[in-house]
């Protein structure tokens, strides 16, 4: 066994790729996140890593960076075996990962962030600020941008902060830089600048892993691409071998039309109308309406104010102006408590921090919003509660050992179903869902789509769905609102909606 | 890595489902009792056992309040000082000739009011519970000493009318033990069978999710400090009745005792997990342990070292458990 591993390691080291990961496996309770993944990046190339949310891209990158440890497999990086390296060892030997949410010290300066933990010292151990600033300027020059190195990071826009991250990677002599969905927060012109920087670093011999689900970018910048689906590598080829169609085919595993349930919408009366909703600096003059049985999509780039809109409607965030009408009557919703009482359900973006009580049972999570349904007198009737939860967990196909199991043990998809079941148990007739399939595996995604469609068609539920996955918006929604910088920039009907159409309204010109 | 390990259904768990998650505790307690009996025959002496029970009751009542607070992910360091203030107030009112019934009612309200100060600071002021209750702890002790002029206040003639509360017996058990039973029973019902109880767990597990689920997080948080203050006042009444003296230093250090009992009883300092049954067993474990140490002649000074080590040990145990499961 040991000999085999040695032999394998020697073989792996034989190649002169900058990175070679072989036979990587990783399981979480209830989920095989990665199965026998083999992934190789050549020196000096930009390698696209594509796949749907939940395909295993970030797990693979976390294993590479040392944040997770693989259950099996070998990692060779820059000519040495680094299978069980720690994050700091990986940085040391030339790996830099730039996450979507930057790991930056908000209140420190640009120079301090570039040299975090490695500020140059004078004899005697004091920080050599002059050298730090000069070096920072030099690195930024090399990347073709300039920001005053004294500027506090929190004062910068996302594009500039991303550049600072890249400068930091370069200052660490990174040989391989992982860009995790770098375009999610960028407009077109900013993206073009990013590409220029990537190409110039590439000429200096730096390699990149470029994670994105926007295929056009992958064709624009990458020399090869690997597709992950359900934790397995579907295919890894030079970019010339791929076409948009084959890439989508590999990613999704079936064509989009099969993936979403058929809609036979049956619209009822208007249930919600929002007029001129405003929150300073976040939402500008938002007006929208929603009918029973309708699924209204809301999309836009990260930071466009999509989640904030939902939170403002349910009273989770304060508003500075605007009116809300439910079933034609003006109401004031000062808190989520009021929203629950008005039959307004909300499934927040981040299940783990906002939606669920992870250590508590499935039952606890489903009934917490509306315990009064389960009271006999003023005490909770546990039998009544259990039978209601059993009913719901059956209807929502929640896979759990028992309804008493902690919800944290469930897979992402089943957790999301619990969040939805909780809203339905609270007897809502309007449901606001934020990224309903984030971190959910493909099979469960389809189940969630079916559920949502079923609820609208059979129960007449009205849904507002925020999502950054355009196929989902296109496949599910009867009408789509596009947001940009806190404003609604377009309203598109189902029959006219295309990815390009959405993106033109979502980005800057 | 945030996923927890899949829990295997265990038959013993179903059988002992009335016990808290760490049902091993009951065996620890039984083991300690057997150990104590073997070590010193005096342990099983009814008089000694009654003393142990009384100890369990006094610390237990405060610990029930502490459990409510810790379940919401808070902490209440002020219970000892609230106890001190209430002890002094009780003695002052009784020597002033107030009727015991009125005194009991007003002192309970005073404890609730002091708890409300904590609650307001934490909810409206946004002061972290540790700091808020630390402040009230220092202020409360100062208030108690000021009210009492730094001197213990004897009950004098008022004592006989009031002594039943701390010294009386009912059906062979001391009255404080009965009070503890009643308090615990109410607390168990509240936590397990009321919507409010559920909401306490919800706030402690994830206060943002609780808010978005329509729970009045502010009210729930506020209320647990009121409960804790009121139970500290109840303990003060028993203290004064038993000693027939209102001491301004009464209850010093009882907050640590109560935290230790709660944590040993399996209530998580991170909120949302645990309950009263664990706290009752925790109180019994600490009382038996103290009794053993007394019986075999370990000095109170050394006992403090042991208690401190037990608190750290209990938290270490919990940290290990969490690390294993993440």
Task: Say if strands B245-246 and B153-154 run parallel, antiparallel, or are unpaired.
Answer: antiparallel
Q: Residue B208's closest chain A neighbor by CA?
A: A354
Given this model, what pLDDT does residue B115 score? 97
Q: Which two tokens stand for residue A320?
A: 């500075």
* C-beta atoms of A357 and B189 within 8 A: no
Asked if B198 lies within 8 A of A368 by C-beta distance, the reply is yes
* Any B CB within 8 A of A346 CB: yes
**How big is chain A by its Cα radius of gyration, in Å?**
25
Contact A152, A107 (CB under 8 A): yes
Predicted confidence at residue B325, as pLDDT, reads: 61
- Most B CBs within 10 A among A366, A371, A383, A439, hence the mutation to make, goes to A371
Structure tokens at A482: 């596009």
Report the distance separating Cα B205 and Cα A504, nearest Å.
42
Closest residue, chain B, to A310 (C-alpha): B212
Q: What is the pLDDT of residue A144?
A: 79
Q: Is B222 helix (H, G, I), strand (E, B) or coil?
A: helix
**Is the pLDDT confidence value at B74 over 90?**
yes
Per-residue pLDDT of A363-407, as tens digits, reads 999 999 988 888 888 898 889 999 999 999 999 988 888 899 899
Interchain proximity B206–A353, CB inside 8 Å: yes
Query: Which are the contacts of A464, defined by CB distance < 8 A and separation ≥ 6?
Result: A272, A290, A295, A296, A297, A298, A310, A313, A430, A431, A432, A433
Pick from A32, A337, A339, A356 the residue to mutate for testing the B interface (most B CBs within 10 Å): A337
Q: E strands of chain B, at which residues?
A: 153-154, 169-170, 173-174, 245-246
Q: Which of A254, A243, A311 lies closest to A277 in space, CA to CA?
A: A311
**pLDDT value of residue A285:** 92
Min Cα–Cα distance to chain A from B30, Å: 29
Residues in chain A with CB shorter than 8 Å from the CB of B7 are: 401, 405-406, 409
Stretch B101-112: mean pLDDT, rounded?
96
Contact status, residue B118 vs residue B132, Cβ threshold 8 Å: yes
A471 touches chain B (CB under 8 A): no
User: Under CATH, domain A258-356+427-506 is a member of which superfamily?
Assistant: P-loop containing nucleotide triphosphate hydrolases (3.40.50.300)
b/e map of B281-308 (b: 16 or more CB within 10 Å)?
A: bbbbbbbbbbbbbbbeeeeeeeeeeebe
Give the lowest-confidence range in A305-314, B15-24, B77-86.
B15-24
For the segment A439-463, the average pLDDT, to the nearest whole number, is 87
Q: What is the pLDDT of residues A238-279, one digit of tens each?
A: 999 988 878 877 887 765 556 788 888 889 999 999 999 999
**CA-based nearest distance A434→chain B, Å:** 13
* CA distance to partner chain A, nearest, from residue B226 (Å): 21
> Chain-wide mean pLDDT for chain A?
87
Verify whether the Cβ–Cβ distance B6 to A409 is below 8 Å: yes
Strands A270-279 and A283-291 come out as: antiparallel
Which residue is associated with the tokens 């050298």?
Answer: A131
Q: CA A102 → CA A32, A58, A454, A484, A506, distances in Å?
A: 28, 15, 38, 21, 22
Who has greater pLDDT, A190 or A509? A190
Pairing of strands A176-180, A321-326: unpaired
CATH 3.40.50.300 assigned to A2-94+175-253: yes
Helix ranges, B206-299 (H): 207-212, 217-243, 254-264, 276-295
Residue A463: its pLDDT value, please? 95
3-state class of A424 per DSSP? helix
Helix (H) / strand (E) containing A483 = strand A479-484
Which of B195, B217, B266, B268 would you mutate first to test chain A, the one with the most A CBs within 10 A? B195
B22-60 confidence digits (pLDDT tens): 567 888 899 999 999 998 888 988 889 999 999 999 999
Residues of chain B neighbouring A316 (CB-CB closer than 8 A): 211-212
Chain B contact set for A341 (CB, 8 A): 214
Q: How, if at all, do strands A487-493 and A430-434 pair? A: unpaired
pLDDT at B7: 37
pLDDT of B2: 36
Please name the helix (run of DSSP H) or strand (run of DSSP E) that holds residue B320, with its range, or none.
Answer: helix B300-324
Joined tokens for residue A370:
């509306």
For A321, the 3-state DSSP assignment is strand
**For the structural domain made of B42-324, what CATH number should be given?**
1.10.3470
Is A130 an 8 Å CB contact of chain B? no
Between CA B97 and CA A227 the distance in angstroms is: 85
Bridge partners, residue A50, by sequence = A227
Antiparallel, parallel or unpaired: β A224-229 and A46-50? parallel
The continuous run of DSSP H or E covering B76 comes out as none
Average confidence (pLDDT) over A467-475? 86
Residues of chain A with CATH 3.40.50.300: 2-94+175-253, 258-356+427-506
ipTM over 0.85: no
* Residue A338 host element (H or E): helix A336-341
SS3 call for B173 = strand
Question: What was the pLDDT predicted at A99?
Answer: 83
Residues A47, A227: contact at Cβ < 8 Å?
A: no
CB contact under 8 A, B209 and A357: yes
Cβ contact (<8 Å) for B208 and A353? yes
Distance (Å, rounded) from C-alpha A33 to C-alpha B301?
55
The share of chain A scoring above pLDDT 90, in percent, equals 43
A377: tokens are: 């007198």
pLDDT at B180 over 90: yes
Tokens at residue A335, please? 């808190």
Rounded CA-CA distance B273/B299 in Å is 35
Range A228-244 average pLDDT: 88
Question: Is any Cβ of chain A less than 8 angstroms from the Cβ of B21?
Answer: no
Residue of A nearest to B216 (CA): A337
pLDDT interval class at B326 (50, 70, 90): low
Find out whether B3 and A408 touch, Cβ atoms under 8 Å: yes
Residue A262: per-residue pLDDT: 84
Please answer yes or no on whether A409 and B213 come within 8 Å at the CB atom: no
A369 contacts in B (CB within 8 Å)?
213-214
Strands A207-211 and B169-170: unpaired
Q: What is the pLDDT of residue B4?
A: 37
Report how far residue B288's alpha carbon sits from residue B29's, in angstroms, rounded to the nearest whole number. Answer: 8
Q: What is the mean pLDDT of residues A85-108?
A: 86
**Mean pLDDT, range A485-496, rounded to an integer:** 91
Residue pointed to by tokens 């199991």: A405
- What's the mean pLDDT when you consider all of chain B? 89
* Facing A371 at nearest CB: one of B6, B7, B198: B198
CA distance A180 to A62: 11
Residue among A29, A355, A372 minimizing CB distance to B4: A29
Closest A-chain CA to B4: A409
Asked whether the beta carbons of A314 and A432 are under 8 A apart, the reply is: yes
- What part of A 476-495 touches B (C-beta under 8 Å)? none
- The pLDDT of A26-49, averaged and rounded, is 88
Residue A441 has pLDDT above 80, yes or no: no
Residue B1 scores a pLDDT above 70: no
On the question of pLDDT at B21 being above 60, the answer is: no
A372 lies within 8 A of chain B by CB: yes
Shortest distance between the Cα of A223 and any Cα of chain B, in A, equals 32
Helix axes B79-95, B129-147, angle to 10 degrees: 30
Which pLDDT does position B18 carry in this prediction?
A: 47
**Surface of A (52-71) touching B: CB under 8 A:** 68
- Nearest chain A alpha carbon to B14: A404
Window from A258-272, A453-467, B174-188 with minimum mean pLDDT: A258-272
- Distance between CA atoms of residues B294 and B220, nearest Å: 40
Which of residues A117 and A141 earns the better pLDDT score? A141
d(CA A199, CA A143): 10
State yes or no: pLDDT of A439 exceeds 50: yes
H helices of A99-187, in order, are 110-114, 129-142, 158-171
Number of residues that this document lists for chain A: 509
Q: Does B212 touch chain A (CB under 8 A)?
A: yes
CA end-to-end span of chain B: 6
Contact of A348 with chain B, judged by CB distance below 8 Å, is answered with: yes
Tell me which chain B residues have a C-beta less than 8 angstroms from the C-beta of A346.
212
- Min Cα distance A168 → chain B (Å) is 27
What pLDDT shows up at residue A189? 75
Domain chopping of chain B, boundaries:
42-324
């Amino acid at each position: 066994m040991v000999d085999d591993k040695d032999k394998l390691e020697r073989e792996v080291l034989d190649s002169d790729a900058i990175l070679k990961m072989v036979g990587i496996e990783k399981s979480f309770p209830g989920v095989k996140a990665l199965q026998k993944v083999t992934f190789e990046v050549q020196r000096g190339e930009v390698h696209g890593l594509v796949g749907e949310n939940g395909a295993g891209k970030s797990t693979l990158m976390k294993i590479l960076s040392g944040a997770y440890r693989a259950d099996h497999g070998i990692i060779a990086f820059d000519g040495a075996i680094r299978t069980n390296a720690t994050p700091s060892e990986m940085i040391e030997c030339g790996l830099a990962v730039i996450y979507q949410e930057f790991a930056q010290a908000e209140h420190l300066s640009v120079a301090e962030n570039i040299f975090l933990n490695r500020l140059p010292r004078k004899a005697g151990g004091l920080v050599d600020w002059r050298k730090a600033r000069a070096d920072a300027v030099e690195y930024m020059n090399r990347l073709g941008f300039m920001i005053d190195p004294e500027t506090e990071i929190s004062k910068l826009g996302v594009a500039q902060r991303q550049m600072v991250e890249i400068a930091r990677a370069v200052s660490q002599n990174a040989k391989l830089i992982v860009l995790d969905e770098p375009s999610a927060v960028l407009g077109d012109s900013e993206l073009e600048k990013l590409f220029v920087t990537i190409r110039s670093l590439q000429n200096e011999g730096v390699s990149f892993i470029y994670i994105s689900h926007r295929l056009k970018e992958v064709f624009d910048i990458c020399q090869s691409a690997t597709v992950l689906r359900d934790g397995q590598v579907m295919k890894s080829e030079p970019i010339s071998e791929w076409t948009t169609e084959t890439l989508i085919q590999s990613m999704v595993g079936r064509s989009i039309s099969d993936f979403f349930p058929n809609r036979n919408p049956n619209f009822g009366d208007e249930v919600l109308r929002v007029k001129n909703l405003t929150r300073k600096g976040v939402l500008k003059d938002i007006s929208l309406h929603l009918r029973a049985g309708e699924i209204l999509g809301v999309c836009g780039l990260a930071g466009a104010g999509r989640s904030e809109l939902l939170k403002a409607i349910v009273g989770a965030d304060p508003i500075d102006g605007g009116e809300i009408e439910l079933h034609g009557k003006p109401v004031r919703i000062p808190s989520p408590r009021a929203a629950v009482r008005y039959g307004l359900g909300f499934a927040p973006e981040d299940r783990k921090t906002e939606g669920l009580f992870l250590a508590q049972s499935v039952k606890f999570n489903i009934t917490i919003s509306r315990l009064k349904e389960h009271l006999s007198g003023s005490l909770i009737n546990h039998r009544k509660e259990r039978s209601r939860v059993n009913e719901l967990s059956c209807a929502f196909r929640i896979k759990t050992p028992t309804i008493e199991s902690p919800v944290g043990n469930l897979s992402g998809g089943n957790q999301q179903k619990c969040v939805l079941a909780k809203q339905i148990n609270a007897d809502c007739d309007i449901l606001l869902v934020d990224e309903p399939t984030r971190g959910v595996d493909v099979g469960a995604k389809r189940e969630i789509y079916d559920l949502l469609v079923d609820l609208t068609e059979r129960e007449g539920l009205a849904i507002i769905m925020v999502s950054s996955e355009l196929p989902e918006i296109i496949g599910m929604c009867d009408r789509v609102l596009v947001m940009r910088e806190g404003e609604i920039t377009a309203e598109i009907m189902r029959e006219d909606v295309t990815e390009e159409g959405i993106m033109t309204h979502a980005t800057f010109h | 890595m945030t996923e927890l390990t899949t829990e295997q259904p265990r038959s013993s768990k179903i059988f002992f489902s009335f016990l808290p998650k760490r049902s091993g505790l009951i065996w620890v307690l039984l083991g300690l009792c057997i150990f104590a009996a073997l070590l010193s025959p005096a342990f099983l002496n009814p008089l000694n056992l009654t003393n142990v029970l009384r100890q369990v009751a006094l610390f237990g009542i405060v610990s029930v309040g502490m459990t409510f607070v810790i379940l919401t992910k808070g902490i209440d360091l002020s219970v000892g000082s609230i106890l001190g203030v209430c002890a002094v107030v009780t003695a002052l009112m009784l020597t002033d000739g107030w009727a015991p019934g009125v005194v009991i009612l007003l002192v309970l309200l005073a404890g609730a009011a002091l708890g409300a100060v904590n609650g307001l600071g934490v909810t409206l002021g946004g002061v972290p519970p540790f700091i808020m209750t630390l402040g009230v702890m220092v202020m409360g002790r100062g208030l108690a000493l000021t009210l009492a002029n730094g001197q213990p206040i004897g009950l004098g003639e008022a004592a006989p009318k009031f002594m039943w509360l701390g010294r009386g017996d009912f059906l062979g058990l001391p009255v404080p033990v009965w009070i503890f039973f009643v308090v615990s029973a109410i607390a168990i019902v509240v936590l397990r069978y009321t919507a409010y109880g559920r909401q306490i767990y919800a706030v402690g597990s994830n206060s943002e999710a609780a808010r978005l689920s329509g729970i009045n997080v502010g009210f729930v948080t506020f209320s647990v400090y009121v409960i804790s203050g009121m139970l500290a006042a109840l303990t003060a009444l028993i203290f004064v009745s038993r000693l027939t003296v209102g001491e301004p230093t009464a209850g010093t250090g009882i907050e640590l005792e109560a935290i230790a009992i709660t944590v040993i009883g399996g209530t998580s300092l991170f909120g949302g997990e645990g309950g009263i049954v664990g706290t009752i067993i925790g109180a019994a474990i600490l009382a038996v342990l103290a009794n053993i140490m007394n019986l075999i002649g370990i000095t109170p000074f050394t006992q403090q070292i042991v208690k401190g080590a037990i608190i750290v040990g209990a938290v270490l145990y919990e940290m290990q458990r969490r690390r294993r499961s993440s």
